[in-house]
Copies of this chain bind each other. A is one copy, B any other.
Amino acid sequence: MNAIRPVVLGHLALCPQTGYEIKQSVDRSTRYFWPASYGQIYPELRRLEEEGLIRGREEAQGGRRRVRYELTRDGERALRDWLASPAAWEEIRDLGLLKLFFAGAAGPESALAAVRSMREERERKLELLLAIEAAGDDGKELTLGPGLVLDYGLSLYRATIDWCRAAEERLAQEVGS
């Protein structure tokens, strides 16, 4: 199971879509924690159809060809299996932490600057999430999956920002003394 496969299966489980629409769905939702490009999506759609996990139907509209894909039984099972499997590949990459690590080694002033810029970055991201939440309130309800993830994001960014503030205070004392 490669990196793009669960993304495609998952979005097709939400509703049958074309490759183009999948890309749009991803960009509106899951790309925040798992991106996907056309260069991945279209080849993967072909592979999935060859393996019988999805089925495509031509939906010609005039001269424009368009293929809408949907999950087969096997595809549904593959997605369920993936959801039930332990997150084997749980990798984190965080440039902010890398900076923190080396900046700390360069002394408290440097660490303080790094923590401060990290907090400012996260505060901008939090604003973004709050805007998404507000947009969801008026209009359609945030459904379970997206709602959960959004709530998680809000909670985590707040915790990060709190940590940064506390660290800044401690580091400021060290710089001062």
Contact = CB atoms under 8 A, between A and B. Distances in A.
Chain copies in the assembled complex: 2
A163 interface: yes
Interface string A138-177: 0000011111110110011001100100010000000000
B155 A98 contact: no
Nearest to A98: B34
A105 B97 CA distance: 32
Given A156-B160, A159-B156, A167-B151, A83 B101 contact: no
Contact of A155 (B34, B79, B108, B159): B159
A10 interface: yes
Interface of A: 6-7, 10, 13-14, 29-30, 32-35, 79-80, 82-84, 86-87, 89-108, 110-111, 113-115, 117-118, 121, 143-149, 151-152, 155-156, 159-160, 163, 167
